[in-house]
Amino acid sequence: MKLVCSPQNARIYGIRLIQTTLMALLVLSSFASADEGATRDRRHRQILDRRTVILKAFAADMENVAEWCRQRRLTQAASEISSLQQKLTQANVRTEPPRMLSAEISQTLSSDELSWRSQVRSARHDRAGQLYTLARSALRAGFPSLAFSLIGDVICLDPDHKFARSVLGQEQFRDPARRDDADYTGEWVSAFEKQMRSGQKPQMYDPRFGWIPVANLSRYEQDLRPWKGDWVSREKEEELRRDFRNAWEIPSEHFLVKTNVSLEAGVELSAKLEIFHTWLQQNFAAFFETPGSLQERFETAGRQLSSRRRKPMEVHYYSTREEYQQRVAGKVPPNIETNGLYWQPDRTCYFYMNPSREDLATLFHEATHQIFDVDTMDARRVASRALAMKTRQKRAEEWVLCERSNFWLIEGLACYFESFSVGEDGKVTIGDPAYVRFDTARQRLLDPSFLFYMPAQQFFGLGKDEFQSHPQISPLYTQASGFAHFLMHFDDGLYRDDVIQLLAEIYRPDAERILEEPSFSRIAGVSWTDLDHQYRTHMQNLDDQLQAAEGESAAEQR
């Protein structure tokens, strides 16, 4: 029997063939994406496992030295080595690295003490070198956050590792005023600090007064303050500066804090902001720099650093809520209560001293918006012009962040950074599961009386107006906080670099793909369904952690 193929049948057959081919390509693409995601996850785990191996080897090195001391009845030295080993290997949260360079081991020590101290230093140096090599591998594998975390490990073991210090933007400095101090070995400082403390009129940083000329310290300590070319009493200055037009101005490397609360409060605020900024620069490095520039930073580590500065970001800190409300009037709708505000048109943060809250959660929330926005505004201007050309507009309009999707991330990360805390010992903590934002997110997912959850694909697909006008906006903010915690911490930070890449694509739109919406599923190579399951697993883990902590607390009280 002879088959006759009419033109119409041929067209139908052709269409079906194209459809079948496209379906096959989509399936293959899905498999390829899944394979790529699995390979990436495996590589991430391999780097973490290698880190564990190195730290365990270091612990074994230290135990060998401690045993060597015990055999020679150097019990105090053995105890000191064991304590040092625990301090260097147990903490996932690092304290600020020492500023001072390590002193050389004295050759006047007894032969046994000289020996064990040399063994300890050699072990720290060797294992730090291995971790630095691993950090470079992590960067090449596409995990910049993990790479910078490993740099922290390097400096923890070897505080004077010059390449690791250089990656963090630090260099050696010797204070000319201490040239005759035999115990002074030098310091690790930023290029900004080195510049401030050098020259014919060097300045110094005092935790009470901020940056002031060295020659003025004695007058400050006598309770005198500069005022319009003269000196007045501290009490007189406080009276003058109650008017915000005469506010104290506290400059630092990245910020200019203006306040009428007090000089000391402004300086403390400024210091916390700089710590926060440093943390962001190191842990969100892939947001602030391109992959190429990050690679270059590692490749050029140890060379002279640039001291070029941008205009500092302004932060206004008012002594009363009434002053704050007067200043932000017209910037927010009159029926909305705010505790703080980042106003994009003037790139300034506004907030006030709240007697009922001692933490700086509001400050870190608004500073997150400010830092991300200011650092990337030029990129969005370029994107606006590219969009205007693509869509044949007469003029470029201001770029609207997350106009069509992903708006949750803007507020979710700001809420996440509310948990940022700096202890008296300089230790930074973030992401405490008991923090109210994350605890409420856990309850809304797991507690039937609070139940609310929007599936990930729908949640990520909300644009700015859809999110802000949603009837369930409060639960959406809660879920945004929970998702930020999930993506930063799930499976030892598996998605941390992916969420940072999503953030970078939002704030730095690619002119070549200007009409495409950034997709977390595409970036991470994970399905939306898997994200839903993993989010629930993460929240259940937080629930288990909190219950375990409550159990331990109850046991201690008994």
Structure tokens at 379: 């990129």
Reported residue count of the chain is: 558
Q: What is the DSSP string of 290-357?
A: -HHHHHHHHHTTTSPPP---PPPEEEEEESSHHHHHHHHBTTB-TT---SEEEEGGGTEEEEE--TT-
- Give the HSE-up count for residue 308: Cα atoms under 13 Å, Cβ half-sphere: 1
- The whole-number average pLDDT for the span 43-67 is 95
CA gap 183, 178 in Å, rounded: 9
Task: State the first-to-last Cα distance of the chain, in angstroms, to the nearest integer.
Answer: 92
Distances in whole angstroms, Cα of residue 43 to Cα of each of 48, 50, 130, 139 = 9, 10, 17, 12
Residue 95 confidence (pLDDT): 65
Determine the residue type at 451: L
Residue 228 confidence (pLDDT): 93
145-175 per-position pLDDT tens digit:
889 989 999 999 999 999 999 999 999 999 9
- Say if strands 348-352 and 428-429 run parallel, antiparallel, or are unpaired: unpaired
Of the chain, the percentage scoring pLDDT greater than 90 comes to 72
CA gap 265, 262 in Å, rounded: 5
pLDDT category of residue 355 using cuts at 50, 70 and 90: confident
Least-confidence region, from 48-57, 171-180, 298-307, 460-469: 298-307
pLDDT category of residue 91 using cuts at 50, 70 and 90: low
Whether the predicted pLDDT of 28 surpasses 70: no
* 3-state DSSP assignment of residue 373: helix
Long-range contacts of the stretch 132-138 (C-beta < 8 A, 24+): 132/161, 132/163, 132/164, 134/47, 134/50, 134/51, 134/54, 135/164, 135/298, 136/298, 137/47, 138/47
Residue 267 confidence (pLDDT): 97
pLDDT category of residue 40 using cuts at 50, 70 and 90: confident
Whether the predicted pLDDT of 32 surpasses 60: no
Of the chain, the percentage scoring pLDDT greater than 70 comes to 91
Give one word for 405, left, alpha or beta, with left for phi > 0 and alpha for psi -120 to 50.
Answer: beta
Residue 89 confidence (pLDDT): 81
Give one word for 104, left, alpha or beta, with left for phi > 0 and alpha for psi -120 to 50.
Answer: beta
Cβ atoms within 10 A of the Cβ of 287, count?
Answer: 24
Least-confidence region, from 165-169, 480-484, 547-551: 547-551
400-450 per-position pLDDT tens digit:
999 999 999 999 999 999 999 988 877 899 999 999 999 999 999 999 998
Residue 359 confidence (pLDDT): 83
pLDDT category of residue 393 using cuts at 50, 70 and 90: confident
- The whole-number average pLDDT for the span 358-364 is 91
Least-confidence region, from 52-61, 107-116, 325-334: 325-334
CA dihedral 351, 501, 489, 477 (to 10 degrees): 40
Please give the backbone phi and psi of residue 375, each rounded to the nearest 5 degrees, phi first: -70, -20
Mean pLDDT, rounded, of the chain? 89
In the chain, domain spans? 9-90+111-168, 241-398, 400-558
* Domain range 241-398, CATH class: alpha beta
Exposed/middle/buried for residue 121 (C-beta within 10 Å: 0-12, 13-18, 19+): middle
pLDDT category of residue 18 using cuts at 50, 70 and 90: very low
CA gap 87, 85 in Å, rounded: 5
Residue 26 confidence (pLDDT): 44
Closest CA to 82 of 109, 47, 99, 58: 58
Sign of CA dihedral 334, 336, 340, 341: negative
Residue 16 confidence (pLDDT): 53
Residue 96 confidence (pLDDT): 74
Exposed/middle/buried for residue 257 (C-beta within 10 Å: 0-12, 13-18, 19+): buried
Residue 171 confidence (pLDDT): 93
Closest CA to 373 of 334, 339, 336, 413: 413
Residue 142 confidence (pLDDT): 87
Are 164 and 132 spatial neighbours (Cβ–Cβ below 8 Å)? yes
Whether the predicted pLDDT of 481 surpasses 60: yes
Q: What is the DSSP string of 459-517?
A: HHT--HHHHHT-TTHHHHHHHHHHHHHHHHHHHHHTTHHHHHHHHHHHHS--GGGTTSP
Are 485 and 414 spatial neighbours (Cβ–Cβ below 8 Å)? no
Whether the predicted pLDDT of 14 surpasses 70: no
pTM of the model: 0.83
pLDDT category of residue 20 using cuts at 50, 70 and 90: low
342-355 in b/e form (b: 16+ CB < 10 A) is bbeeeebbbbbbee
Sign of CA dihedral 533, 535, 541, 546: negative
Q: Which of 34-48, 145-159, 245-259 has the highest mean pLDDT?
A: 245-259
- The whole-number average pLDDT for the span 374-381 is 93
284-293 per-position pLDDT tens digit:
989 998 888 8
Cβ atoms within 10 A of the Cβ of 81, count?
Answer: 26
Q: What is the DSSP string of 245-283?
A: GG-EEEE-SSEEEEESS-HHHHHHHHHHHHHHHHHHHHH
Distances in whole angstroms, Cα of residue 318 to Cα of each of 12, 241, 325, 461 = 72, 11, 10, 38
Structure tokens at 242: 């109650």
Residue 423 confidence (pLDDT): 86
Residue with the bigger pLDDT between 125 and 33: it is: 125
- Say if strands 255-259 and 224-227 run parallel, antiparallel, or are unpaired: unpaired
Whether the predicted pLDDT of 25 surpasses 50: no
pLDDT category of residue 36 using cuts at 50, 70 and 90: low
CA gap 163, 128 in Å, rounded: 11
